[in-house]
């Protein structure tokens, strides 16, 4: 299937897009021919293959997009080899998906390199406050950097923008450099520690602070800042400069899941939409577990501006940020008619910084509810401001008039009150306990690989712990106006003492890595149709440290029961 983009516009150059769209010779792609040839040469699926695919699809730790989303007003059906924007971009593989989009690896015929294309759902998502996304406008605002702000390097750039008319409606398409994975993915695939090496966490923290400071200097609130929207960058030699054949050699053929299997694997068995593609493509995985990241892996980019807005142009009273990173003012903003602004990003950034160096979240509600996250905040920060407390309609479910917990409240588990500094230090110390535990497991098994993994994470000095806690205490304040601004943090003592040296070391390591000859990485390549499914499945389980994961899970559950959390 070849899909052409009608109504094509470009964020970077209207003239260039017009030329590309009208060009006749761009549609003839040798890269596309190579891809189609490789796909056609793959052996047909046997019954055993289909059984194994079904297992791989629904036993995976990262589900693909739901097939029912390919309905009118939803996602655009993309097939391998599709050509977009007048034939300029050829779809090669899938990089991932979000709540309202899919992201694809494509070959740019004009520049002869690989790019990433995010194709959004047709429906313009609106929040409870009637918010309507203007991602193209936000990206144009961020692209105009006349000040050369150092944080601009930590924001994902839009290389091109066009619209795509398909069977499900009109879709916005955003082109960028291909990037590796999200911070959330690397932590999700942890091999038992759920934490980042100290030097990596330090470099990421510094880049986040500068990146958010840049967004705010441009008058933009990100609005959905969490670990799933912070990406690890990669040198272009790793993917962007590869040919299709080299991509397949390095990462394997795309994984194609027949849509009938996708339908059979869900409980409700909804009908397959008329415009759904014949296959759901499995996303490439280009990263590693958080413990294995090295300094050259730690270059990050803030991405996904679908929820972003400019407070000078519009007001918002609702956030769609995950509960564990959502600023507390979002609970009462609509009731009190107090608009949400830049401090909400600073709060979310603080939650990410804490997650980098702790196996748990600072305001983790355990059960994903903003209300329960609020209870966690109350236990750590104390009672919220009176106007907020009075505006919180559900407080009577948990507290009496004096602010004490009711004996039969609706809290599913107990939260013990704790001072902010104590809670922050406890999370970091839990990290050190986990590292020691894993190191001891390695010694017991005489396994140097496990020992090395634990040693690579490193320990924070007492001095750095105190400086980090001081940084976070400036962020975790109830009132938005009492929080440090991103610019304050960018010019503050932590950045000068720890952050800027970490960025310099990271950039040097990244530049050195880019000079090396690319080699095959440990990224998973599943070759359905060649009888390699089980081998890949077991290799994946081994790579993710399943044994350590189970040990860690058991120990965490035991600790939770002992502490009275359940």
Q: Is 118 annotated as a binding residue?
A: yes
**CA–CA–CA angle 47, 51, 54 (5° rounding):** 135
503 to each of 148, 201, 209, 218, 299, how far by Cα in Å?
17, 11, 11, 22, 9
Task: Answer whether 58's CB lies under 8 Å from 265's CB.
Answer: yes
Which residue, among 79, 193, 297, 82, has the nearest Cα to 556 in the 3D structure? 193
How many other C-beta atoms lie within 10 A of the C-beta of residue 14?
Answer: 11
391 to each of 332, 338, 347, 420, 564, how far by Cα in Å?
6, 12, 21, 24, 31
413 to each of 86, 368, 373, 561, 564, how far by Cα in Å?
56, 13, 12, 10, 8
Structure token pair of residue 411: 């809290």
| DSSP symbol at 496 | I
Question: In the chain, how many H helices and how many E strands?
Answer: 20, 10
Q: Can you tell me which residue has the tokens 């720890």?
A: 498
Torsion sign across C-alpha atoms 317, 321, 322, 323: negative
Task: Answer whether 262's CB lies under 8 Å from 280's CB.
Answer: yes
Residue 107 bridge partners (DSSP): 90, 114
Task: Answer whether 345's CB lies under 8 Å from 372's CB.
Answer: no
Which residue, among 387, 362, 364, has the nearest Cα to 479 in the 3D structure? 387
Residue list, annotated binding site = 118
Residue list, annotated binding site for ATP = 118
């Amino acid at each position: 299937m070849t899909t052409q983009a009608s109504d094509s516009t470009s964020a970077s150059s209207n003239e260039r897009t017009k030329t590309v769209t009208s060009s006749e010779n761009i549609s003839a792609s040798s890269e596309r021919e190579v891809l189609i040839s490789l796909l056609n040469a793959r052996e047909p699926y046997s019954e055993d293959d289909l059984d194994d695919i079904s297992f791989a699809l629904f036993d995976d730790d990262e589900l693909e997009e739901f097939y029912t989303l390919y309905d009118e007003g939803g996602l655009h059906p993309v097939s391998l080899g599709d050509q977009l924007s007048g034939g300029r971009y050829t779809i090669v593989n899938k990089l991932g998906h979000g709540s309202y989009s899919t992201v694809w690896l494509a070959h740019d015929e004009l520049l002869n390199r690989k790019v990433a294309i995010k194709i959004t759902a047709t429906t313009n998502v609106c929040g409870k406050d009637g918010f309507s996304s203007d991602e193209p406008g936000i990206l144009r605002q961020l692209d105009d950097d006349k000040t050369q702000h150092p944080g601009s390097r930590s924001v994902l750039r839009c290389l091109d923008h066009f619209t795509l008319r398909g069977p499900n409606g009109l879709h916005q398409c955003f082109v960028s450099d291909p990037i590796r994975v999200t911070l959330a993915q690397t932590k999700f695939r942890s091999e038992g520690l759920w934490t980042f090496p100290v030097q990596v966490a330090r470099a990421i923290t510094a880049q986040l602070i500068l990146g958010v400071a840049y967004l705010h200097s441009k008058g933009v609130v990100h609005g959905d800042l969490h670990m799933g929207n912070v990406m690890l960058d990669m040198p272009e030699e790793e993917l962007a400069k590869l040919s299709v054949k080299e991509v397949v050699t390095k990462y394997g053929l795309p994984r194609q899941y027949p849509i009938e299997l996708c339908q059979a694997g869900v409980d409700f068995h909804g009908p397959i939409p008329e415009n759904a593609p014949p296959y759901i493509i499995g996303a490439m995985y280009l990263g590693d577990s958080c413990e294995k990241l090295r300094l050259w892996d730690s270059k990050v980019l803030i991405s996904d501006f679908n929820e972003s807005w400019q407070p000078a142009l519009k007001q918002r009273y609702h956030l769609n940020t995950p509960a564990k990173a959502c600023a507390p003012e979002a609970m009462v903003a609509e009731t009190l008619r107090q608009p949400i602004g830049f401090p909400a990003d600073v709060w979310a950034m603080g939650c990410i910084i804490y997650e980098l160096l702790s196996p748990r979240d600072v305001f983790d509600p355990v059960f994903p509810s903003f209300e329960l996250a609020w209870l966690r905040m109350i236990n750590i920060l104390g009672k919220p401001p009176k106007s907020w407390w009075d505006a919180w309609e559900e407080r009577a479910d948990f507290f009496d008039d004096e602010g004490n917990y009711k004996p039969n409240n609706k809290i599913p588990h107990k939260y013990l009150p704790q001072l902010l500094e104590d809670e922050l230090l406890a999370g970091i110390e839990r990290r050190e306990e986990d590292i020691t535990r894993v190191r001891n497991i390695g010694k017991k098994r005489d396994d140097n690989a496990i020992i090395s993994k634990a040693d690579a994470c490193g320990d924070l000095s007492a001095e750095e712990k105190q400086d980090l806690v001081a940084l976070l205490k400036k962020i975790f304040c109830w009132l938005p106006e009492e929080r440090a601004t991103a610019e304050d943090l960018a010019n503050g003592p932590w950045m000068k003492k720890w952050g800027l040296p970490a960025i310099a070391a990271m950039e040097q390591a990244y530049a050195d890595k880019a000079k090396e000859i690319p080699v095959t990485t440990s990224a998973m390549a599943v070759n359905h149709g060649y009888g390699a499914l089980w081998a890949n499945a077991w290799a994946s389980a081994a790579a993710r440290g399943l044994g350590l994961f189970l040990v860690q899970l058991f120990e965490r559950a035991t600790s939770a029961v002992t502490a009275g959390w359940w």
